[in-house]
Amino acid sequence: RHEELTGALLDSRIDLALAFDPENMPGIRGEALGLGRFVVLAPPGLDLGAEGPVKLERLSGMPFIRLDNQGPLDRLLNTHIDACEVKLDTVAVAGSYQLAKALVSQGLGVAIADEITARSRGWEDVVVRPLKPELTFRIAALHVDNESISRVCRQFVAHLRESLDTFLSCNSSPS
C-alpha cells in the first residue's frame, strides 16, 4: 500500500514513512534501514522436521494461512511461492500478518510472515523458524526526494536503523 504513503508524503501530510520492500516511486527517496526476512510460523507441537530452516515444500499438505495479497510483502511472498511451484492447502486468508500469527497460535495452521511481526508481542505461543529458500525484503524510511528532512527526522531514522539492526541481529536464530 505504498500508494497511500506516497500520496501522504507528496501532499506533506507526513514527513517520513516506514516501508517494507518499497518500489521506486517518482519524487520519493528511500533511506535503507535494513533487510528483513520471511519466517515460518507454526503452532507448538507441529512437526516441521529437524531444527533449523523449514523448506517451503515441507508446508505442502499442512493447513496454510495465506495473506490477502494486498500489500507489497504479500505479493513478494506469493510470487516466491508460485516460483517454487509449491502447492499449499489454504484454510484461511488473513488480512494482516498479526491476524495470521493469531490464527497460528490458535492451532488453525501454519503461516509465513515477516520476522518483525513474528517477533512482536502478542500470541507468543507460536514456533518461529527460518524459511528455506530464504526470502528477504528491504526496509526503508521514505521521504520526499527534493526536500531535505529535518534534523529530528534524520536522528529518528538513524535511531530506527540502529534499533532495527539490534532487534534483527538478536533474533537472527529463530527457535
Dihedrals phi, psi of 3, to nearest 5 degrees: -60, -40
Torsion of CA 97, 103, 106, 107, to 10 degrees: -100
Name the pairing type of β-strands 110-114 and 63-67.
parallel
C-alpha cell at 68: 490477502
Q: What's the CA gap between 103 and 75, in Å, rounded?
A: 20
- Taking the mean position of all CA atoms in its chain, how far away is CA 170? 17
133 contacts: CB under 8 Å, gap ≥ 6: 56, 84
Dihedrals phi, psi of 156, to nearest 5 degrees: -60, -45
Residue 104: which of 137, 80, 85, 96 has the closest Cα? 96
Tens digits of pLDDT across the chain (175 residues)? 677 888 899 999 999 999 998 888 888 999 999 999 999 999 998 888 878 899 999 999 999 999 886 788 888 998 899 999 999 999 999 988 899 999 999 999 999 999 998 988 776 789 999 999 999 999 999 999 988 889 999 999 999 999 999 988 875 544 4
Q: What's the CA gap between 152 and 146, in Å, rounded?
A: 18
Q: How many helices (H) and strands (E) does the chain have?
A: 5, 8
